[in-house]
């Protein structure tokens, strides 16, 4: 089954109750010593440089909805067996109440395994990647984020993409900023397992270099990058973040304009505690491409 990319992007991270103020939701990864109590007094939240009042801040102990998105194209500087092992390590770190959708992409994003909690089916899916064609990464990202948004669970559940790629995109109709906006709109955290850059640092027209693509996608969504080797370490760290370190924050933006992009910043008041969230809200206005 091929996912059809839809470029319409909604404002999924914000909402307005009946007669109430508009609120925004952030997924936050918190790294802290074991047993340390984390509250909204542990940090300050800034939106567009303006300090905000946090309404709620609490851990999210429920399972995650995860898309495992794997580059299926030719030209990768990695052996097929290494990609399969990385994918299998990610699957094997899933918790009992997690669900995963497995997608391989080249010119198209193809569903290899529908969203399921069935570990056996997901393990089999990691052996079905076929290397061919060229990678339309940005088209694949917007297709996957659209599929997640259609389920309407971007706010109430943890959703993430685990991308196995070098960050190279070839001939996508989608621009990089559109792909990033789509992920930010739907509160999807992107984690990347990074392959060696097939372009060897070459400049690319109208898009960031592949390593910069992965850095901007992960920083922009609150995720993180890990090297391919060793894959089991990356898989375990990502699973731990989603299971044990994920919090949900809500606030009512005050003193800012939400028309254009606005930067989000969390400043820790405790040197032992680190916070990570998406880098910005895309805003209602989309600059022309």
Answer left, alpha or beta for residue 274, where phi above 0 means left and psi between -120 and 50 means alpha.
Answer: beta
- Comparing 144 with 4, the larger pLDDT belongs to 144
The pLDDT score that the predictor gives to residue 212 is 96
Domains and CATH numbers, the chain: 2-6+63-244 (3.40.50.410)
Average of per-residue pLDDT across 251-257: 92
pLDDT band (50, 70, 90) for residue 155 = very low
CA distance 184 to 199: 27
Nearest to 281 by CA among 186, 155, 215: 186
Average of per-residue pLDDT across 175-204: 93
- pLDDT at residue 18 tops 50: no
For the stretch 199-234, pLDDT in tens is: 988 888 888 999 999 999 999 999 999 999 999 999
Most distant CA atoms of the chain, gap in Å: 56
pLDDT band (50, 70, 90) for residue 247 = very high
- pLDDT at residue 7 tops 50: no
The pLDDT score that the predictor gives to residue 1 is 53
The pLDDT score that the predictor gives to residue 148 is 84
Mean predicted lDDT score pLDDT of the chain? 89
Give one DSSP letter per residue of 196-233, joined into a string: P-TTTT---TTS--HHHHHHHHHHHHT--EEESSSHHH
How far CA 175 is from CA of 79, 142, 207, 257, in Å, comes to 28, 10, 8, 25
pLDDT band (50, 70, 90) for residue 2 = low
User: Which residues lie below 8 Å from residue 4, measured CB to CB, with a gap of 6+?
Assistant: 143
The pLDDT score that the predictor gives to residue 164 is 98
Nearest to 110 by CA among 86, 140, 82, 89: 140
The pLDDT score that the predictor gives to residue 26 is 95
The pLDDT score that the predictor gives to residue 152 is 57
Work out the percent of the chain whose per-residue pLDDT is above 90: 78
Continuous segment of H or E residues that includes residue 179: helix 176-185
Average of per-residue pLDDT across 109-121: 96
- pLDDT at residue 40 tops 70: yes
The pLDDT score that the predictor gives to residue 25 is 92
CA distance 270 to 117: 37
Three-state DSSP class for 67? Answer: strand
Q: How many CB atoms neighbour CB 63 within 10 A?
A: 17
Average of per-residue pLDDT across 32-50: 96
The pLDDT score that the predictor gives to residue 283 is 72
Number of H-type helices and E-type strands within the chain: 6, 16
Q: Look at 19-28, 156-165, 241-250, 278-287 and tell me which has the smallest mean pLDDT.
A: 278-287
pLDDT band (50, 70, 90) for residue 113 = very high
Average of per-residue pLDDT across 154-168: 84
For the stretch 122-140, pLDDT in tens is: 999 999 999 999 999 999 9
- pLDDT at residue 261 tops 90: no
- pLDDT at residue 79 tops 90: yes
- pLDDT at residue 4 tops 50: no
């Amino acid at each position: 089954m091929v996912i059809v990319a839809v470029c319409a992007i909604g404002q999924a991270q914000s909402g307005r109750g009946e007669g109430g103020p508009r609120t925004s939701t952030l997924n936050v990864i918190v790294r802290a010593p074991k047993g340390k109590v984390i509250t909204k007094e542990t940090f300050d939240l800034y939106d567009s440089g303006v300090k905000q009042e946090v309404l709620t801040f609490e851990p999210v102990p429920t399972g995650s909805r995860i898309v495992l998105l794997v580059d299926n194209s030719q030209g990768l500087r990695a052996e097929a067996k290494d990609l399969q092992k990385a994918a299998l390590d990610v699957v094997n770190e899933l918790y009992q109440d997690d669900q995963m959708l497995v997608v391989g992409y080249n010119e198209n994003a193809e569903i290899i395994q529908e969203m399921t909690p069935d570990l056996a089916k997901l393990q089999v899916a990691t052996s079905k990647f076929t290397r061919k064609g060229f990678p339309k990464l940005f088209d694949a990202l917007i297709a996957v984020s659209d599929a997640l948004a259609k389920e309407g669970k971007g706010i109430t559940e943890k959703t993430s993409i685990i991308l196995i790629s070098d960050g190279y995109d070839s001939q996508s109709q989608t621009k990089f900023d559109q792909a990033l906006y789509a992920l930010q709109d739907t509160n999807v955290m992107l984690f990347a397992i990074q392959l060696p850059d097939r372009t060897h640092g070459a400049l690319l027209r109208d898009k960031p270099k592949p390593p910069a693509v992965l850095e901007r996608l992960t920083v922009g969504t609150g995720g993180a990058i890990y090297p391919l080797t060793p894959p089991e370490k990356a898989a375990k760290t990502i699973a731990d973040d989603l299971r044990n370190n994920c919090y949900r924050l809500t606030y009512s933006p005050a003193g800012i304009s939400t028309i254009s992009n606005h930067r989000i910043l969390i400043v820790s008041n405790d040197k032992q505690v680190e916070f990570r969230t998406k880098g910005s809200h895309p805003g209602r206005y989309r600059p022309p491409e």
